[in-house]
Chains A and B, each alone.
Chain A
Amino acid sequence: MEERRLMKGNEAFGLAAILGGARYYFGYPITPQNEVTEFMSRELPNYGGFFLQAESELAAINMAYGASAAGGRVFISSSSPGLALMQEGLSGLASIEAPVVVLNVMRGGPGIGNIQPGQADYYQVTRGGGNGDYHLIVFAPASIQEAMDMIVEGFEIADRYTNPVLIAADGMLGQMMEPVTLPSMDKEYSLEKILKTKPWALTGHKNKRERNVIKSVYLKQELLEEHVLKIFEKYDKAVKELPSFEEVDLKDAEIVYVAFGTTSRMVKEAMELLKEKGVKTGLIRPKTLWPFPREAFDGIDKSTKMVVSCELSMGQMIDDVKLSLKGRLPVSLINRTGGMLLTPGEIVERTLKLL
Chain B
Amino acid sequence: MRAIFEYTKGMRDQETHYCPGCTHGIAHRLIMEVLEEKGKLGEAIGISPVGCSILAHQYMDVDMVEAAHGRAPAVATGIKRVHPDAYVFTYQGDGDLASIGMAEIVHAALRGEKFCTFFINNAIYGMTGGQMAPTTLEGQKTTTTVMGRDPAVSGNPAVMCEMLSQLKGAVYVERVALNSPANIRKAKKAVSRAFEVQEKKLGFAFVEFLSICPINWGLAPSDAMKWLAENMMEVFPVKQFKNPLEVK
Please give the residue numbers on chain A whose beta carbons come within 8 Å of chain B beta carbons, in ascending order.
24, 26, 50, 52, 54-56, 58-60, 62-72, 74, 88-89, 92, 96, 191, 202-208, 211-217
Contact = CB atoms under 8 A, between A and B. Distances in A.
A70 B42 contact: no
B68 A52 contact: no
Report which residue of A59, A60, A65, A217 has the largest number of chain B beta carbons within 10 angstroms of its beta carbon. A59
B52 to A, nearest CB: 12
Given A63-B81, A214-B64, A214-B66, 8 more contacts: A59-B104, A59-B107, A63-B75, A66-B80, A69-B65, A89-B71, A202-B79, A204-B86
A204 B74 contact: no
Contacts of B104: 55, 58-59, 62
Interface stretch (B55-63, B128-136, B158-166, B190-198): B55-63
Contacts of B41: 205, 207
B82 A207 contact: no
A56 B74 CA distance: 10
Contacts of A70: 45, 78-79, 81-83
Given A66-B78, A88-B68, A89-B68, A203 B83 contact: yes
Contacts of B80: 66
B78 A65 contact: yes
Interface of B: 41-45, 47, 54-55, 57, 61-68, 71, 74-83, 86-87, 103-104, 107
Contact of B44 (A50, A66, A204): A204
Given A64-B78, A204-B62, A205-B62, A215 B57 contact: yes
Contact of B75 (A65, A203, A215): A65
B247 to A, nearest CB: 22
A56 B102 CA distance: 12
A66 B77 CA distance: 7
Q: Is the interface of A mostly helix, strand, loop or mixed?
A: mixed
Contact of B78 (A58, A68, A215): A68
Nearest to B78: A66
Q: Return the 8 tightest CB-CB contacts between A and B, nearest first.
A: A66-B78, A67-B78, A62-B74, A66-B75, A70-B82, A62-B71, A63-B78, A55-B107
Contacts of A63: 74-75, 77-78, 81
B24 to A, nearest CB: 16
A202 B63 contact: yes
B66 A204 contact: no
Contacts of B83: 70, 202-204
A330 B78 CA distance: 49
Given A62-B68, A65-B67, A213-B57, A52 B75 contact: no
A211 B75 contact: no
B65 A203 contact: no
A69 B79 contact: yes
Nearest to A56: B103
A253 B184 CA distance: 79
Given A62-B71, A206-B43, A24 B65 contact: no
A102 to B, nearest CB: 14
Nearest to B76: A66
A207 B62 CA distance: 9
A213 B64 CA distance: 5
Contact of B87 (A88, A204, A216): A204
Nearest to A92: B68
A216 B82 contact: no
A211 B47 CA distance: 13
